[in-house]
Amino acid sequence: MRHDTRRHARTPIPLVFVLAAMVALPSAVLGSVAGPAGPPHQEQETVRVVTTLPTYAAIAREITGDLARVEAIARGDEDPHFVTPRPSFARAISRADLFVTTGLDLEVWVPGLLDRANNPRVLEGAPGHVVAYSGVRLLDVPETTSRAEGDIHIYGNPHVHTDPVNAVQIARNILEGLRRVDPDNAAGYERRTRDFEDRILARTFGDRMIDLLGRESLLELALNGRFWSFVEGREIDGRPLVDQLGGWLAEAAPFRGRSLACYHKNWSYFSHRFRIPCAIYVEEKPGVPPTPGQVGRVITFLRDQELPVLLAANYFSRGQVNRVAERTGGVAVIVPEHVGGAEGVDTYFDLVDLWVSRLAEAYSGSGGAR
């Protein structure tokens, strides 16, 4: 994003007047004149963190505890592509020390808010600007960027948070931002980030897998997309390594290796981690409402392939999702994509718990799926 840095020609001002004016300025103003680096501005008791999406806010709270005030712009049951900017959003960003956004072309409404907020501390490239996707192995990078193919994300799929391992990388990116804007509390942020990572690993893979592979080796395999290729075909103590999984991956056994239908390409990273590919999409072209003909093709496909589950985020039309499932004798699994999108989904762990349990229940109740 480019910002106009042109300056009007001015008559030179004697240096003595410049120095006198600077002495008269309050320290908070001087801090913004000097540049966005450094600790939070003085009138604030805690760091202010503003995120585009509530899942990033939930992860930020895991790291900051009571050292920061964290708020999200979008709601958990709101389509992040189509958030309507409000003056209150710009005001929140204007006071922020740290701003967290996906960093891909998901939140197209962000540049306008940043312009209106007029906060140099959180502009792109400033110390207070955090890109959540940085370091994540991107999926669905398109071969063509033609708009005729729908709402194409030219850099790759932006729904990176649906893989819990990616939440580790998102947390690390937020940690780096907090180190820049609040270095005095860096040690506390680092401890809480480490604790969050440990809990994500244990909840995803189980303690036994961590003991067998070691924390750092397991994390490296998972972040680099090599976990499944490593564990499959290997044995330890006469048992297949994959059978020693715990956590969410063990709870996902009823649907691992099966297929399902998805409404939109929200779930690519979840599918990759949990090995449950989306075989067909109700939205043939991302962001383009499906035509009756496309809905009919999806229904025929689901019947022919005997796929019993249709997965959709709860900000899409419940009526349409349910009708498609009913006409195929299948189950509609409608869940929030983000924290706060349903009652009781208050943390990132709640969110993934819900995804896994609802899918496991759907597949167990359907007698299995192909």
Which is more confident, 149 or 289? 289
Q: CA 168, 173, 175, 180: dihedral to nearest 10 degrees?
A: 170
- Closest listed residue to residue 159, CA positions, set 243, 62, 80, 224: 80
Average pLDDT across the chain, whole number: 87
**pLDDT for position 287:** 75
Confidence of residue 37 (pLDDT cuts 50, 70, 90): very low
pLDDT digit string, tens, across residues 7-35:
333 333 333 333 333 333 333 333 333 33
pLDDT digit string, tens, across residues 326-356:
999 999 999 999 999 999 999 999 999 999 9
CA distances from 105 to 51, 78, 81, 102 (A): 15, 17, 9, 8
For 150, the token pair is: 């729908």
Helix (H, G, I), strand (E, B) or coil at 68: strand
Confidence of residue 286 (pLDDT cuts 50, 70, 90): confident
pLDDT digit string, tens, across residues 199-232:
999 999 999 999 999 999 999 999 999 999 999 9
**pLDDT for position 153:** 72
Confidence of residue 288 (pLDDT cuts 50, 70, 90): confident
- All domains of the chain, ordered by start, with CATH? 37-197 (3.40.50.1980), 255-370 (3.40.50.1980)
pLDDT digit string, tens, across residues 41-50:
545 578 999 9
Confidence of residue 141 (pLDDT cuts 50, 70, 90): confident
**pLDDT for position 6:** 34
pLDDT digit string, tens, across residues 146-182:
655 556 677 899 999 999 999 999 999 999 999 999 9
For the segment 75-85, the average pLDDT, to the nearest whole number, is 95
Q: What is the distance between the alpha carbons of residues 141 and 155, in angstroms, rounded to a whole number? A: 6
**Residues 109/133, Cβ–Cβ less than 8 Å:** no
- Closest listed residue to residue 41, CA positions, set 114, 128, 130, 110: 128
**pLDDT for position 151:** 63
**pLDDT for position 44:** 54
